[in-house]
A and B are shown apart, each in its own frame.
Chain A
Amino acid sequence: MKELKKLKIKPISMKKVQLLICVVGLFCFITVFGQNEKFKALFIYNFTNYIEWPGGSNKTFVIAVIGDSPILGELQAISKIKKVGSLPIEVLKVNSPVEATNAQIVFVPGAKKKSLPEISKALSGKPVLIISDNAQGEFGINFIEIDQKQSFQISKLNIELRKMKVNSALLALGIPVN
């Protein structure tokens, strides 16, 4: 304590210390594992193997992400390694669905899930696979956690309404919904 006084730092009482430990402890026992975003990005890439988009003259395969999300970095890492068919992958961060009309996939992060109806409407009729995260509404695929295990819902109807075809193997891997 003498040293503290020399440093002009007010000594901390034991009660305060205990309180600090409890408060900081409770706050900090929150552990988030960022690996989820990596696996979601890997899932998104894998989805492209099971979905068939109508033919077009695209030079790139565009994955648009609405808003800021850690998944952007993960998707970009994949885009450097893999192609979809013969098309190089282009990952775009967009602020509104209007900017994503040329995309083949639009990812709606959990933070933007309330905008899903609006996004779906803006991309109405376009061959865009809308992938949402823990959302409800008109998605093609929606990431969910069941029993705290990563899974996904898949709507064959919504995908086919947008003129894409889905391989039945993907329906078996996910949870089909309508």
Chain B
Amino acid sequence: MKSYKKISFKAILLFLAFLIISPTFGQQQPDKNKKQPTKDQILDMTYEQLLNMPFEDLINLANIVGVSAEELLQMILNKEVTTASKFKETIFDSPLSTSAISAEEIRMSGANTIEEALRLIPGMIVREKTNGNYDVQIRGFDNVPPEGFEYFSENTISLVMIDGIPVYNNVNGGTFWETLPISINQVERIDVVRGPASALYGPNAASGVINIITKQSGNKKINVSFDDRIGNFNTYLGDLYVSSKLSDKFKITFGGKYDYRDRYDDKYYSFLEGNYIPLEDSLRQISGLKYNGVYNQSLNKNEARKVLGANINLLYDLNKDIKFRLSGGIQDSKIQTAFFENLATPFSVRLSNIGFLSFQGNVKNLAATVSYQGGHQNLSEGALSPVLEYKMSNINANLEYNFIFKNLSVRPGVNYQSASYNDSKYEQEQRLAQNNNSVSGLFHGAKTTGLIAGSLRADYKAFDKLRLIAAARIDNYDYIKKNSLSYQLIASYKLNDNNLIRASYAQANRGAFVGDMHANFTNPIMDNSVAGLIPHASIAAYGAYIGPLAALLPKGDTIVTASYNQYYRGSNVSNYDLKLLTINTIELGWRSKLGSKFQVDIEGFMSKAKDFDALVGTVVKADTTFYTIAELTHGVGPANKTPFPKHLQFEDTLFYHNLPLEATQYGVSATVNISVSKKLQFKLFGTWQQTKLKNQINLDQDTVDIIHKNTPAFYGGITAIFAPTPKWNFYLGSYFYSNQVYTRYWRSSATLPATTAKEYATDHLNGKIILDAKISYKFWKDNRVYIQGKNLLFDNHREFGFTDPIKSLILLGVNFNF
């Protein structure tokens, strides 16, 4: 009886508890479980689907799609993102500095490439170098340290991924954007996380992450989308996306693209002339003559971009917990841009033929990815020495498991990466072709780098408002002695439904790349070239000092030849213990929905970067038994030197070494969205920043503290869409940035090292407002014709140091969807 009473007492308690809780279950739980379709999903629905659903459901969908300003804010501004924390969450709830753009925004904006689309995202610095070829940076640290080669101005501290798979190159860690095999039409969304995120994603997520998410098929049995654009500067762009739902579980998608364009100008910047000059003259400035001849014959001075790409994806979703994806693709590209300079001009032609294959599997909380990327690349077509052509193969494998305990999720993971590069074949070919065994390739053989890493991430939600995230990752790199630690500590607190504050502290590092480790080549700046002519008058004057020996001197003018070899050595080649560039960032952020019509997102950040590496030169080693040209020409010099040699020999060596340089960046980014009604929207974003460099060793070997001026102090954008009827769409967008100063190293190749006159090249770049517009008309169903213009303020100033003037581009296009 006693026990009965106990049981009944417990039962009553349980019943009462149930009564108290049941309204919560009855009212809220179903809402939580019932996943609302997104606007894009609804717009993808066919008339048949919409007409066959109950009226109540249709009313619900109508409310989501087109009416509520609150919904608009939710859907347009607070897209669901996955990149910030590997969970699906809205941008508003994202604990990091996160932005995203959707396929619809990309289409309406007229962005021709992924790089262009990134101009629609806060915190991105996107500067065009030649027609369609861009320099893309997140927040900055671009061209740090300044005064390096063009090659080092590339962004090598951001992680770019397609569907979570890294796509950076393993030569220097930069992204060769033209090699991405996917088309712009295939992009479902681009997520950008500003700030370090290596603990979550691995190497190179030091300044941020760009994750390009591709479409995974529509709801129709077959969807075809084709886009074709034609414009001035012989610009032809085409884009095809086909998806087919073969069954409820099996989908297949195909994407293809072509992108042909001419440069805006056919001249080349010549460092020696300090101006833009025709191709022939420019390349003649190279004393070594190694780039002439073949280079001139193969180089099309007008060509900016010739890109082809295709990919195919098989998606098998057994159920919501078990999903597999197999993807493969190929690309073929040739672009002319400023990248691997040749001392005369920053321009070079980059060729790539790359294929990829990847597998992604999700079984409940287990996520596995294996990807392969391999092919052939030439960083500077026509360069005879060094040979910059190689074969490569990269493997990336990742395994993660997400343990979920109530409000805590713990995600351990392991990652393996390997990169193999081999230039033996191309080095040998050039040795035979040039009949010169001293010709060397960039790596001088087969070289590899790789890493094994372990990571752990914990995400805890306390009482629905406070979220705490801690993540750490340890990378064990080949050829780097010390394991690298990256970590993130993040807290976000939802003051209420309309306000979220967040703070984070993170450390992340750049990866270790084949170029930094294994570069091992000779750059024959002068190879038995004419270095000067000694007039007979000088010889005669010299003869006056040496008395009877003067009889041995040449009787007429004497031609002197010289050889000057510059050796480049990676850290592993010179057995140097390289430390990886590390960035530490502290960030504070506030997001607020001020009523249903305004949303503000403000983030303040301070980043410190150290352990930069660069090619550091040794003192020029000259054969001192010979006179310098200056000594010879003036007929004076120490008597112990051989008088009037006919050949001079010089060499110097550049090593990959760490620098004492430290960079500190302070900045604020703000994004303001105003959605007055469904008819009125406003979006404006901008970033102000300042970067200070401490212990910068300039080319005069002085250690200085300077303000870094290559990153614009202010940059941002405005975008707007006007759709007066369902058939017409007008887009107006502006991307702007303030003045910059680009400084780089150059050594006049027409003068010998001992008499080098000038070693800097500086380009003062004006601030610019780039105004783009697009008018689109839907002539039948979902098919459109359009006209779009880029750079419509006709500001032809160049956007990057010593590259092309950027002119206006007008394109006519047609877009079919069926």
Chain B residues closer than 8 Å to A31, beta-carbon distance: 678-681, 720-723
A39 x B769 contact (CB < 8 A) = no
- Known contacts A82-B51, A150-B62, A150-B66; A9 and B794 CB within 8 A of each other: yes
B66 x A39 contact (CB < 8 A) = yes
Judge if A98 is at the interface, Cβ distance under 8 Å. no
Chain B residues closer than 8 Å to A21, beta-carbon distance: 718, 734, 769, 771
State A146–B680 Cα separation when bound (angstroms): 17
In angstroms, how far is the closest chain B Cβ from the Cβ of A63?
A: 14
B682 x A150 contact (CB < 8 A) = no
B51 x A81 contact (CB < 8 A) = yes
A70 x B727 contact (CB < 8 A) = yes
Q: Which residue of B lies closest to A34 (CB)?
A: B726
Name B805's contact: one of A3, A37, A147 (CB within 8 Å).
A3
A150 x B63 contact (CB < 8 A) = yes
Judge if B67 is at the interface, Cβ distance under 8 Å. yes
The stretch of B53-61, B130-138, B176-184 in contact with A is B53-61
Name B65's contact: one of A25, A33, A170 (CB within 8 Å).
A33
B63 x A149 contact (CB < 8 A) = yes
State A106–B67 Cα separation when bound (angstroms): 24
Name A33's contact: one of B596, B723, B793 (CB within 8 Å).
B723
The stretch of B42-50, B358-366, B495-503, B745-753 in contact with A is B42-50
State A49–B720 Cα separation when bound (angstroms): 40
- Known contacts A77-B47, A148-B677; A32 and B724 CB within 8 A of each other: yes
State A173–B56 Cα separation when bound (angstroms): 7
B50 x A42 contact (CB < 8 A) = yes
In angstroms, how far is the closest chain A Cβ from the Cβ of B514?
A: 41
Judge if B70 is at the interface, Cβ distance under 8 Å. yes
Name A43's contact: one of B62, B65, B796 (CB within 8 Å).
B62
Judge if B598 is at the interface, Cβ distance under 8 Å. no
A148 x B68 contact (CB < 8 A) = yes
Interface centre among A25, A43, A70, A145 (most CB of B within 10 A): A25
Judge if B725 is at the interface, Cβ distance under 8 Å. yes
Chain B residues closer than 8 Å to A73, beta-carbon distance: 726
Chain A residues closer than 8 Å to B720, beta-carbon distance: 24-25, 28-29, 31
Q: Which residue of A lies closest to B676 (CB)?
A: A29
Chain A residues closer than 8 Å to B354, beta-carbon distance: none
Judge if A45 is at the interface, Cβ distance under 8 Å. yes
Chain A contacts with B in 125-164, Cβ cutoff 8 A: 145, 147-151
B722 x A4 contact (CB < 8 A) = no
B59 x A173 contact (CB < 8 A) = yes
- 1/0 per residue, CB under 8 A from A, across B758-794: the answer is 0000000000010100000000000000000000011
Judge if B100 is at the interface, Cβ distance under 8 Å. no
In angstroms, how far is the closest chain A Cβ from the Cβ of B428?
A: 47
State A50–B56 Cα separation when bound (angstroms): 13
State A4–B56 Cα separation when bound (angstroms): 59
Judge if B370 is at the interface, Cβ distance under 8 Å. no
In angstroms, how far is the closest chain B Cβ from the Cβ of A33?
A: 4
Chain B contacts with A in 682-730, Cβ cutoff 8 A: 682-684, 718, 720-727, 730
Interface centre among A7, A30, A82 (most CB of B within 10 A): A30
Interface size class of A (residues with CB under 8 A): 35 or more
Judge if B410 is at the interface, Cβ distance under 8 Å. no
A35 x B674 contact (CB < 8 A) = no
Judge if B69 is at the interface, Cβ distance under 8 Å. yes
Name B794's contact: one of A4, A35, A70, A81 (CB within 8 Å).
A4
Q: Which residue of B lies closest to A25 (CB)?
A: B718
State A145–B681 Cα separation when bound (angstroms): 18
B680 x A37 contact (CB < 8 A) = no
- Known contacts A27-B722, A29-B680, A39-B58; A148 and B805 CB within 8 A of each other: no
State A112–B722 Cα separation when bound (angstroms): 23
Chain B residues closer than 8 Å to A3, beta-carbon distance: 794, 796, 805, 807
State A149–B805 Cα separation when bound (angstroms): 49
State A4–B797 Cα separation when bound (angstroms): 11
- 1/0 per residue, CB under 8 A from B, across A43-67: the answer is 1011001100000000000000000
Chain B residues closer than 8 Å to A24, beta-carbon distance: 720, 732
In angstroms, how far is the closest chain B Cβ from the Cβ of A93?
A: 15
B769 x A17 contact (CB < 8 A) = yes
Chain A residues closer than 8 Å to B727, beta-carbon distance: 34, 70
In angstroms, how far is the closest chain A Cβ from the Cβ of B685?
A: 13
In angstroms, how far is the closest chain B Cβ from the Cβ of A49?
A: 7
State A78–B52 Cα separation when bound (angstroms): 11
Q: Which residue of B lies closest to A169 (CB)?
A: B55
B67 x A145 contact (CB < 8 A) = yes
Judge if A124 is at the interface, Cβ distance under 8 Å. no
Chain B contacts with A in 16-42, Cβ cutoff 8 A: none
B725 x A35 contact (CB < 8 A) = no
B67 x A36 contact (CB < 8 A) = yes
State A151–B68 Cα separation when bound (angstroms): 11
Chain B contacts with A in 297-355, Cβ cutoff 8 A: none
Name A28's contact: one of B47, B69, B722, B805 (CB within 8 Å).
B722
Chain A residues closer than 8 Å to B723, beta-carbon distance: 31-34
State A173–B57 Cα separation when bound (angstroms): 11
B679 x A30 contact (CB < 8 A) = yes
- Known contacts A31-B723, A81-B47, A81-B48; A49 and B55 CB within 8 A of each other: yes
B58 x A46 contact (CB < 8 A) = yes
In angstroms, how far is the closest chain B Cβ from the Cβ of A157?
A: 22
State A7–B718 Cα separation when bound (angstroms): 28
In angstroms, how far is the closest chain A Cβ from the Cβ of B66?
A: 4
In angstroms, how far is the closest chain A Cβ from the Cβ of B490?
A: 33
Chain A residues closer than 8 Å to B62, beta-carbon distance: 36, 39, 42-43, 150
Given contacts A25-B718, A29-B674, A36-B66, 5 further A-B contacts (CB under 8 A): A3-B807, A42-B58, A81-B51, A150-B62, A173-B56
Nearest 4 CB-CB pairings of A with B:
A34-B726, A28-B720, A39-B62, A35-B66
Q: Would you list 26 pairs from A and B whose C-beta atoms are within 8 A, ordered by A residue? A: A3-B807, A7-B794, A17-B769, A17-B793, A24-B732, A29-B681, A30-B722, A31-B680, A31-B720, A31-B721, A31-B723, A32-B724, A32-B725, A33-B65, A35-B65, A36-B62, A38-B726, A39-B62, A42-B47, A43-B55, A46-B58, A70-B727, A77-B47, A150-B63, A150-B67, A173-B59
Q: What is B's interface to A at a CB cutoff of 8 Å?
A: 43, 47-48, 50-51, 55-56, 58-59, 61-63, 65-70, 596, 674, 677-684, 718, 720-727, 730, 732, 734, 769, 771, 793-794, 796, 805, 807
